[in-house]
Chain A
Amino acid sequence: MIRIEHKDVVGRGGESAGRITRIILDRADKKNALTPAMLDGLIAGATAAAGSRAIVLEGEGAAFCSGFDLTRCRENSDALRVLLDGLSRAVRTLRRIEAPVVVAAHGAALAGGCALLGGADLVVTHTDARIGYPVVRLGISPAISAPFLRLAVGDGRTRERMLDSALISGWEAFRTGLAHECLEDAGKVRARAVAIAEGLAAKPAWGLAATKRWMNEVDGTDLDEWPDRALAASMSIVGSEEERERLAALWKA
């Protein structure tokens, strides 16, 4: 359910500029809903791509990612714990890997899918993409994303996104700093993300890597304290009566 592809890149002078790695969520029939295995595959793929010059994270089909696959969380709260833990590790891995990470957020980036944007260095989307955290109404806390989302959009807008189940458009995500490029055409987002990665790959790798490492140090994402506390906040209500009732109602509906 995770597909890895490599692409060789030619530098400005026609010389080989190494390769980029495309990590593709490949479960289009479920809008790339995340399972624990997919999150582990994503982490393994990103770790194995350490020698790549840039990484693209994409989703197959109509949407980048619709969030967690909650089917197994219906009977068993531990399944949600495993997903939250995997998501937290995945975001940290993307953030800290040496190569810059470009996410192609086409169609939808919801809940855990939106959280993945927090690990990205660059996000490409399109005007009518649907983005956000429709999870408090399920009795689930998106707090896990806060340490990363606040760096992109600021604390004020982080509140708006996390406490409100409503989704925003790709244009609004671009306007508020969650996305860095916004195209008209959903069908061109993935190709554009690959093109951006190729452009990054053609730049001297040492400068990019040192800069990314330093940005993480400046904004604190090289440290585990806040990601740990944020994960603990989301974990603290897993298995609550509220969550059990609301998830059960989701399947009745």
Chain B
Amino acid sequence: MAEIVELNMAGPIARVTLNRPEQRNALSIDLLAGLHARLDELAERGKAEGPRVLVVSGAGKSFCAGMDLKQVLGEPGAPLKLLTLLAEACIKLRALPFPTIASIQGAAIGGGCGLTTVCDFAITHADCKMGFPEVDLGVSPAVVAPWLVRKIGAGRARAMLLRGGLMSGRDAHAAGLVSECVDQVEGLEAATNSLAERLATGGPRALEATKGLLNEIDGSGDVGLAQRSARVSAEVLALPEAQAMLRSKLGL
């Protein structure tokens, strides 16, 4: 049976693929647990097999539609569990000692867009849908805020998260959310491979020393901040009015 998150480590370019295409790779507890398992495996096997680059992508038409909102409407403990899993997965992804690339097709929304901001590089296509519509739904993107601030700066992050809505891949590039934007989705795979192959030519020790310093200087290892961010998102998500709004939006 196919894994819900797949890891492929053939050669210098490792690939982690979110593999729940029928739900547009929505971040469920199972999917995030799978992501943790694959990131642990990558960090462990990476020591011996020495991948130089990681490409993160989503199977099917969309990179990731965001949090699995149906799941957070059931059990009272589900929002915090889900958001803490996401926050801790982000910490693990950032701590990998080689460059990471998010290859984004179709859509990267909410928590899914947040995951892309943790990667060192992100590539998308002009008509991709990206952004953080949490505030439109009466919930909070607090969990991604520290990563978005590190990615595009505090001023732009504030405007983006408070304004909500979605933007095109082209606009995401202008905002600094992605490092490269190709015209057509058909060109995404080739552009991703080209970047991955170029990054893989870097000296592993030079990359590790450089990324280590970059992670220190922007506070990427701040586990406490990541966990507090998850709690803020979870608290808003648990509010009765937020739950009621989500139920009506989802037609439940």
Contacts and interface: CB of A to CB of B under 8 A. Distances in A.
Q: Is the interface of A mostly helix, strand, loop or mixed?
A: helix
A160 B205 contact: no
B207 A146 contact: no
Interface in B77-112: 99
B20 interface: no
A147 interface: yes
Nearest to A245: B203
Given A141-B209, A154-B153, A163 B120 contact: yes
Contacts of A237: 205-206, 209
B201 interface: yes
B171 to A, nearest CB: 14
A243 B241 CA distance: 58
A136 interface: yes
B218 A243 contact: no
B214 interface: yes
Contacts, number: 106
Given A136-B203, A155-B217, A246-B203, A160 B209 contact: no
Interface of A: 135-143, 146-147, 150, 154-160, 162-166, 176, 226, 229-230, 233-234, 236-237, 240, 242-243, 246
4 closest Cβ contacts across the A-B interface?
A: A136-B202, A139-B203, A233-B213, A156-B151
A242 B206 contact: yes
A141 B211 CA distance: 9
Contact of B198 (A156, A166, A233, A234): A166
Contact of A233 (B195, B203, B212): B212
10 contacts: A157-B179, A159-B120, A160-B120, A160-B121, A163-B207, A163-B211, A229-B217, A230-B213, A237-B206, A237-B209
A134 to B, nearest CB: 10
B217 A146 contact: yes
A162 B199 contact: no
Nearest to B150: A155
B204 interface: yes
B216 A163 contact: no
A158 B153 CA distance: 11
B71 interface: no
Question: What class of interface size applies to chain B in its complex with A?
Answer: 20 to 34
Interface of B: 99, 117, 120-121, 150-153, 176, 179, 195, 198-199, 201-207, 209-214, 216-218
Contacts of A150: 217-218
Contact of B216 (A165, A229, A242): A229
Given A154-B151, A164-B198, A164-B199, 13 more contacts: A138-B203, A138-B206, A143-B213, A146-B210, A156-B153, A157-B176, A160-B120, A163-B120, A164-B202, A176-B176, A226-B217, A230-B213, A237-B209
Nearest to A240: B205
A234 B209 contact: yes
Looking at chain B's contact residues, the main secondary structure is helix
B198 A165 contact: yes
Contacts of B152: 154, 156
A223 to B, nearest CB: 13
A155 B202 CA distance: 20
Contacts of A160: 120-121, 179
A230 B217 contact: yes
A240 B208 CA distance: 13
A199 to B, nearest CB: 28
Contacts of A136: 202-203, 206-207, 210
A188 B129 CA distance: 41
Residue of B152, B153, B204, B209 with most partner-chain A CB within 10 A: B209
Given A141-B209, A163-B99, A155 B151 contact: yes
A160 B177 CA distance: 11
A176 B218 CA distance: 18
Contacts of B153: 154-156
Given A150-B217, A150-B218, A156-B176, A163 B204 contact: no
Contacts of B205: 139, 237, 240, 242-243
B64 to A, nearest CB: 19
B203 A163 contact: no
B176 A154 contact: yes
Contacts of B211: 159, 163
A195 B134 CA distance: 49
A137 B150 CA distance: 25
B203 A242 contact: yes
